[in-house]
Amino acid sequence: MSLETEVLVIGAGAAGLMCAATAAARGRKVMVVDHAKQAGKKILISGGGRCNFTNLYVEPANYLCANPHFVKSALAQYTQWDFIDLVVRHNIAYHERDHGQLFCDDSAKEIVRMLLDECDKGQVQLRLRTDIESVSRLESGFAVATSIGRIQCQSLVVATGGLSMPKLGATPYGYKLAEQFGLKLKPTRAGLVPFTLQPQDKQHFEPLSGISLTANVAAQRGPAFTEQMLITHRGLSGPSVLQASNYREPGEGVSIDLLPAVDVGEALAQAREQNPKRQLSTWLSEHFPGRLAETLIAYHGWPNQPLGQLNKATLADIPEQLNRWQLKPGGDEGYRTAEVTLGGVDTDELSSKTMECKRVPGLYFVGEVMDVTGWLGGFNFQWAWASGYVAGQNA
Ligand SMILES: Cc1cc2nc3c(=O)[nH]c(=O)nc-3n(C[C@H](O)[C@H](O)[C@H](O)COP(=O)(O)OP(=O)(O)OC[C@H]3O[C@@H](n4cnc5c(N)ncnc54)[C@H](O)[C@@H]3O)c2cc1C
């Protein structure tokens, strides 16, 4: 079988569906192919099933990319307000959570339904369970050999996403295709991912799995994030850890302030003056869950004495360890649980206005497959919508 279309999109995820609907609204004949049996699988499980679909406060600074200016044009051409308008037009109820994060009131299914309805409006052909075998460049356009036959197209949009959650159908296909066309790639690694602990740390903290607290976590080369931190049976997770993970290079340590609202040196001095007979564990239990207080004492080897009897070294160490704990994680949980993939197609290869390859006219990359990664909080979907939209306006 030989099929023809004007725009062929590989990947029926967030960016691919947005791109397809946008191109079809311009009157382009569009086909979307995906090897999965369902469109938008990541959208469906995102945000705990409620999809954190954008953020009220989207800024270029919320993205990691070798070229920090690259995201500006697309984010300005299709803003969070444009996506919110679309959500409102489809009567999808939503609510705001901390830090401007917007979630569906009911279900992420509504976002997928909305994107598919927009595709239907433009008569986009959606071909699921379709494997890509090869792509070749023609004098004008591309020929794509697939499990449903050869598809010829004028514009080819690669929207195959990143490597996280292979169980949901993630593949490195987009990177391979980029390499086939001689495009540069930035090294990939897991992002928005929990840390594992080294064995000597894990033995202390694993029994506390389930405890969460507000902490300030910073990688060596990134901003500090004050949000919840969760102790898990493998290590540390929660928003503050996931955010910092985007900035942590393998092997590097992180700095953790376990009491970001308290100057521990001052608070300890005050407590010693007011009640020198109070045990260290009692004082720590005023700030932490009891079991965590006990673990901190054992982990740091502090003597559990009355505050008035603590020696100089311990008095100096307590604020250091609580406000500026230098932790070297064992590693991270990898793509199995990561929400995103850092790195990907080098944005130097692409036009920031259209997502078209500078060296291969007619070839576009959108969404997570490229070297653009957002913070936790709806920023990754906003990038998928924005990059998908600008490619859809031009493909
Ligand atoms: C558990 C989880 C929760 C998340 N929650 C949020 C959230 O709440 N808010 C947020 O902003 N971001 C969230 N993200 C990140 C967000 O899902 C992604 O950044 C976004 O989906 C990227 O869109 P994309 O279209 O580039 O890729 P995807 O949505 O991953 O789509 C890629 C598509 O390409 C298809 N594909 C891959 N390889 C091939 C191939 N070889 N042949 C054919 N088809 C192929 C896949 O089947 C898939 O349908 C979450 C991610 C995960 C894993």
State pLDDT tens for residues 154-198: 999 999 999 999 888 899 999 999 999 999 999 999 999 999 999
Q: Which of 42, 193, 345, 389 to mutate to test the pocket of ligand 1 (most atoms within 8 A of CB)?
A: 42
Closest residue by Cα to atom 22, ligand 1, is 368
Three-point CA angle 233, 195, 238, nearest 5°:
75
Average pLDDT over residues 134-145: 97
Which residue type occupies 203? Answer: Q
Q: Structure pTM? A: 0.97
The alpha carbon of 25 and the centre of ligand 1 are apart by a number of angstroms equal to: 23
pLDDT tens, residue by residue, 338-394: 999 999 999 999 999 999 999 999 999 999 999 999 999 999 999 999 999 999 999
Please tell me the predicted confidence (pLDDT) of residue 102.
Answer: 98
Average pLDDT over residues 12-20: 98
With both helix axes pointing from N to C terminus, report the angle between 379-394 and 14-25 in degrees, rounded to the nearest 10. 30
Contacts of 182 (CB under 8 A, 6+ apart): 359
Contacts of 148 (CB under 8 A, 6+ apart): 1, 3, 33, 127, 130
Average pLDDT over residues 80-94: 98
Question: How many helices (H) and strands (E) are present in the chain, helices listed first?
Answer: 13, 21
| Closest-lying ligand 1 atom to the alpha carbon of residue 11 | 34
The alpha carbon of 287 and the centre of ligand 1 are apart by a number of angstroms equal to: 39
Q: Which of 17, 43, 46, 243 to mutate to test the pocket of ligand 1 (most atoms within 8 A of CB)?
A: 46
CA–CA separation, 126 and 66 (whole Å): 33
The full set of domain ranges for the chain reads 2-190+340-394, 194-332
Please tell me the predicted confidence (pLDDT) of residue 346.
Answer: 98
Q: Are strands 224-231 and 373-374 parallel, antiparallel or unpaired?
A: unpaired
Neighbouring C-alpha atoms within 13 Å toward the C-beta of 52? 18
For domain 194-332, the CATH superfamily is Translation factors (2.40.30.10)
Tokens of 129: 């369970």
Please tell me the predicted confidence (pLDDT) of residue 1.
Answer: 72
Q: Is the pLDDT of residue 45 over 90?
A: yes
| Closest-lying ligand 1 atom to the alpha carbon of residue 170 | 37
Buried b (16+ CB within 10 A) or exposed e, 159-191: bbbbbbbeeebbebbbbebbeeeebebbebbbb
Query: Residue 121: is it exposed, middle or buried by C-beta count within 10 angstroms (0-12/13-18/19+)?
Result: exposed
Task: Read off the DSSP letter of residue 300.
Answer: H
Cβ contact 342:188 at 8 Å:
yes
Ligand 1 pocket, residues with Cβ under 6 angstroms? 10-16, 34-36, 41-42, 45-47, 51-52, 132, 159-161, 164-165, 169, 171, 173, 339-340, 367-369, 378-381, 384
Average pLDDT over residues 74-97: 98
Average pLDDT over residues 288-312: 97
Residue 2: pLDDT band with limits 50, 70, 90: confident
Q: Is the pLDDT of residue 78 over 90?
A: yes
Q: What is the CATH number of domain 2-190+340-394?
A: 3.50.50.60
Please tell me the predicted confidence (pLDDT) of residue 385.
Answer: 98
The alpha carbon of 13 and the centre of ligand 1 are apart by a number of angstroms equal to: 6
